[in-house]
Amino acid sequence: AKMVCLDLDHPEILDFINWKVEEEKKVGALIAAGYSSDYEGDAYKTVSGQNSNNSVRIPNEFFEKLENNEDWELKARSDGRVMKKVPAKEVWNQISYAAWRCADPGTQYNTTINEWHTCPEGGEIRASNPCSEYMFLDNTACNLASVNLRRFFDESDNSFDVDGFEYTCRLWTTVLEVSVLMAQFPSKEVAQLSYDYRTLGLGYANLGSMLMVMGIAYDSEEARGIAGAISAIMTGISYKTSAELASILGTFPRYEENKEHMMRVMRNHRLAAYDADDYEKLSVKPQGIKAQYCPDYLLKAATRAWDEAVQLGEKFGYRNAQTTVIAPTGTIGLVMDCDTTGVEPDFALVKFKKLSGGGYFKIINQSVPSALKNLGYNVKE
């Protein structure tokens, strides 16, 4: 599927928000009339929107209007004229209902995204890739790699192998950097901008399973502390490695014009690792790592990684404009024997995956016995 994004002030935004809701109603009517409910059946084949992920780009200004119960202006794309005014609350309610009804549209927070943009001199970030983990300039791309977090968790002492994880992040950053220009590109523009910015896509999977084995609830402060620290270690080590590569190979070609912006973003990442307050040019304060909810050894590794990433970046610059993303890993997660995908929790301990072309296979969460053991249950229980 492709990603389809529309700005929230587009004159046709309400039609866009409700697009798939209306199509799902048609599908429901066809199924009620006797057509197959299979996603490859005639009911779904005869409606639109089935090969797109829809998202709306929401600026901070909208939430101010929403909070104050004001109208939201829809503007012409050609000359910026106000075409219509709609209560912000109505727009938000329609987004919420549509997301509940058919899982689209997603929301992309345009102001926040661009305040963390490392290369604004190249233009504004206007959209994302289809799964929404990669956000950068138009006509850019990155190769993805995901690390199975479960492999770094030692059940014998409930610890996370920081050294092994750091080594893996360093190795994969180097591999992805080497791969930047070894790929085939879909267009001349993508090829040129891949050379100019050299973006990478290192991420992880199986966070939910690892937390389960640790006996920690996914929706808890402790889980957020651990996830924040691991994410900070991964990204910090990756940018540190990028700076080391820059010391040998040089920075990415468009670094100098974006140096001030990129270093500001790097410093803000470092501040988040320390859960500090003095962020630079951010309208929304991010959620930093809460020391009271994070194991000390993970927190120290996270802050150390970002200290070194910033120090080396100030000295050498960076080889890559971006280095990390967290992808859904829906398919590669199966190949890596992950019980949960990407950053997500498990939605069911036993799942049936439908195969294109017919048939199912059963997926059972293999982490349950270890999780119950860590929670104090014996084999019989």
pLDDT tens-place string over residues 126-161? 999 999 999 999 999 999 999 999 999 999 889 999
> Count of alpha carbons within 13 Å of 22, Cβ hemisphere only?
9
Q: What is the pLDDT of residue 221?
A: 97
Annotation marks residue 129 as catalytic? yes
The single residue of 129, 148, 206, 268 carrying the catalytic annotation is: 129
Whether the per-residue pLDDT at 37 is higher than 80: the answer is yes
* DSSP label of 38: S
Annotation marks residue 139 as catalytic? no
The single residue of 22, 61, 70, 131 carrying the catalytic annotation is: 131
Between vectors from CA 18 to CA 74 and to CA 132, what angle results, nearest 5°?
85
What is the three-class DSSP state of 5? strand
Digit-coded pLDDT (tens) for 152-178? 999 988 999 999 999 999 999 999 999
Q: Long-range CB contacts (< 8 A, 24+ apart) of 187-193? A: 187/139, 189/139, 190/139, 190/140, 190/141, 193/137, 193/139, 193/140
Average pLDDT over residues 95-111: 97
Q: What is the pLDDT of residue 151?
A: 96
Average pLDDT over residues 321-345: 93
d(CA 259, CA 316): 11
On whether the CB atoms of residues 295 and 232 are closer than 8 A, the answer is no
Digit-coded pLDDT (tens) for 226-267? 999 999 999 999 999 999 999 999 999 999 999 999 999 999
Closest CA to 214 of 235, 237, 230: 230
Whether the per-residue pLDDT at 125 is higher than 90: the answer is yes
Of the two residues 359 and 302, the one the predictor is more confident about is: 302
Q: What is the mean pLDDT of the chain?
A: 95
Q: What is the pLDDT of residue 40?
A: 81
Whether the per-residue pLDDT at 63 is higher than 80: the answer is yes
Digit-coded pLDDT (tens) for 257-293? 999 999 999 999 999 999 999 999 999 999 999 999 9
On whether the CB atoms of residues 363 and 353 are closer than 8 A, the answer is yes
Q: What is the pLDDT of residue 1?
A: 79
Average pLDDT over residues 111-117: 98
In the chain, which segments carry CATH 3.20.70.20?
Answer: 131-316
Whether the per-residue pLDDT at 85 is higher than 80: the answer is yes
Give the other-Cβ count within 10 Å of 131's Cβ: 17
Phi, psi of 375 (to 5 degrees): -85, 0
Annotation marks residue 12 as catalytic? no
d(CA 107, CA 258): 27
CATH number of 131-316: 3.20.70.20
d(CA 12, CA 290): 42
Least confident of 143-147, 310-314, 359-363, 364-368: 359-363
What proportion of the chain, given as a percentage, has pLDDT over 90? Answer: 86
The single residue of 23, 24, 115, 133 carrying the catalytic annotation is: 133
Task: Specify burial of residue 290 (Cβ count, 10 A radius: 0-12, 13-18, 19+).
Answer: middle
> Count of alpha carbons within 13 Å of 356, Cβ hemisphere only?
1
